[in-house]
């Protein structure tokens, strides 16, 4: 029990704790016992990796709705690994309104959001939003290839800060300039972030081709500053830009956008048109076969190359030919022929 402890136990414990190595400024007493000297290097603490202060408190929430396929799930996980300032959350129910995402971001202490919305188990949409004020942009995601799928030689350290490379077209049109600022705030890792590394070894490229935004991730090789693709890669087809977060007045609508439903409908119509054309060709051929044949007039030049055949003399047979006996056995037939030959020889002799 605590009450029955010995009196000298507490003093002995204090004496054990008191024995420690003397500091660099203290001198060892002459008469006292000398302990082994400890080098001052063991007491020096290494400086922190980043000397600066984390000021840019950008946090991105990356999550999705229910009904996504495995490719979308892998793409979402790849973006989380490439962005150390991102956070994850559970999947959102389809019945919930998109405005609920603003409350989820507020609970997670995030001011940016990447939301993947799946429809019909085959179409994937991506929302990029600045919560809760806006603006927000909606894209159709196409040609998705993940890190696990692509066999590429590039590699980068996890948590390193990327460089962002943009196409010159982003500075020419106002809606692309707005998207550029949105991409910079979402995909750039804040400086001196606790989970980030203090160097740059890969590049995020955003290029515009065929009215679409192509995303690529490349590794920077130090020897010759060449680029090797790491992944993932995907294509963003802009649909609309909204003033608010996940809604509000429409700032820009892409006139070149074609919905996946319309695209599939046009493909079906083209296939049906080819089938109808084949059926019409078959019907025309049947009508031609059933129609009356038109007699072509004789060509007078056809008789030029015809040569008359030699006339053979007509032979009139006055004697009735002998009827041949119908014999099924060949041996009997040969015997009958031999008998006839013998009779002829006798009559001639």
The per-residue DSSP string of 187-227 comes to: HSPPTT-TTSEEEEEEEEEEEEETTEEEEEEEEEPTTT--E
pTM over 0.85? The answer is: no
d(CA 19, CA 33): 12
Report in angstroms the alpha-carbon separations of 300 from 127, 163, 308.
Answer: 83, 88, 17
Which 8-state DSSP code applies to residue 243? E
Q: Which two tokens stand for residue 121?
A: 């188990």
Report in angstroms the alpha-carbon separations of 143 from 140, 146, 216, 234.
Answer: 10, 10, 12, 5
DSSP annotation string for 282-296: HHHHHHHHHSPPPPP
Give 91: exposed, middle or buried? Use CB within 10 Å, 0-12, 13-18, 19+: middle
Cβ-proximal residues to 225 (8 Å cutoff; 6+ apart), any chain: none
> What is the distance, to the nearest Å, from the Cα of residue 323 to the centroid of all Cα atoms in its chain?
91
- Cis bond leading into 132, ω under 30°? yes
Which is nearest to 250 in space by CA: 85, 136, 95, 93? Answer: 136
Q: One digit per residue, pLDDT tens: the chain, 349 residues? A: 444 444 544 444 444 444 444 444 444 445 444 545 555 555 566 555 556 788 888 899 999 999 899 999 999 999 999 999 999 999 999 888 899 999 999 999 999 999 999 998 889 999 999 988 989 999 999 999 998 887 778 888 888 999 999 999 999 999 999 999 999 999 999 988 888 888 889 999 999 999 999 999 999 988 788 899 998 999 999 999 999 999 999 999 999 999 999 999 999 999 999 999 999 999 999 888 887 666 777 787 877 877 877 888 888 888 887 777 665 677 777 888 888 888 887 776 6
Q: Is 45 helix (H, G, I), strand (E, B) or coil?
A: coil
Which 8-state DSSP code applies to residue 85? T
Half-sphere exposure of residue 262, counting CA atoms within 13 Å on the CB side? 4
**Domain assignments of the chain as residue spans, ordered by start:** 60-262
Scanning the structure block, which residue is given the tokens 């019945």? 95
User: For the chain, how many residues are written?
Assistant: 349
> What is the distance, to the nearest Å, from the Cα of residue 71 to the centroid of all Cα atoms in its chain?
7
Under CATH, domain 60-262 is a member of which superfamily?
A: Brix domain (3.40.50.10480)
């Amino acid at each position: 029990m605590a009450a029955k402890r010995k009196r000298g136990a507490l003093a002995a414990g204090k004496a054990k704790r008191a024995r420690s190595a003397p500091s660099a400024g203290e001198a060892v007493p002459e008469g006292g016992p000398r302990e082994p000297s400890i080098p001052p290097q063991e007491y020096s603490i290494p400086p922190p990796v980043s000397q600066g202060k984390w000021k840019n408190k950008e946090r991105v929430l990356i999550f999705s709705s229910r009904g996504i396929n495995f490719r979308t799930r892998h793409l979402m996980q790849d973006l989380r690994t490439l962005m150390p300032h991102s956070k994850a959350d559970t999947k959102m129910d389809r019945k919930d309104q998109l405005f609920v995402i603003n409350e989820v971001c507020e609970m997670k202490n995030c001011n940016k959001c990447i939301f993947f919305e799946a429809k019909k188990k085959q179409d994937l949409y991506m929302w990029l939003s600045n919560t809760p004020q806006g603006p927000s942009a909606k894209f159709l995601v196409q040609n998705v290839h993940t890190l696990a799928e692509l066999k590429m030689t590039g590699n980068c350290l996890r948590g390193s800060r990327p460089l962002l490379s943009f196409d010159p077209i982003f500075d020419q049109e106002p809606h692309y300039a707005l998207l550029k600022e949105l991409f910079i705030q979402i995909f750039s890792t804040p400086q001196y972030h606790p989970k980030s590394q203090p160097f740059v070894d890969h590049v995020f490229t955003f290029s515009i081709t065929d009215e679409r935004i192509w995303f690529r991730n490349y590794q920077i090789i130090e020897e010759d500053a060449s680029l090797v693709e790491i992944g993932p890669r995907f294509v963003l087809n802009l649909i609309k830009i909204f003033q608010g977060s996940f809604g509000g007045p429409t700032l820009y609508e892409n006139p070149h956008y074609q919905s996946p439903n319309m695209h599939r409908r046009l493909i079906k119509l083209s296939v049906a048109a080819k089938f109808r054309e084949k059926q019409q060709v078959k019907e025309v051929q049947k009508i031609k076969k059933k129609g009356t044949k038109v007699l072509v007039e004789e060509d007078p030049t056809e008789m030029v190359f015809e040569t008359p055949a030699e006339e053979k003399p007509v032979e009139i047979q006055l004697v009735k030919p002998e009827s041949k006996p119908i014999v099924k056995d060949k041996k009997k037939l040969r015997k009958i022929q031999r008998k006839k030959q013998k009779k002829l020889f006798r009559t001639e002799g």
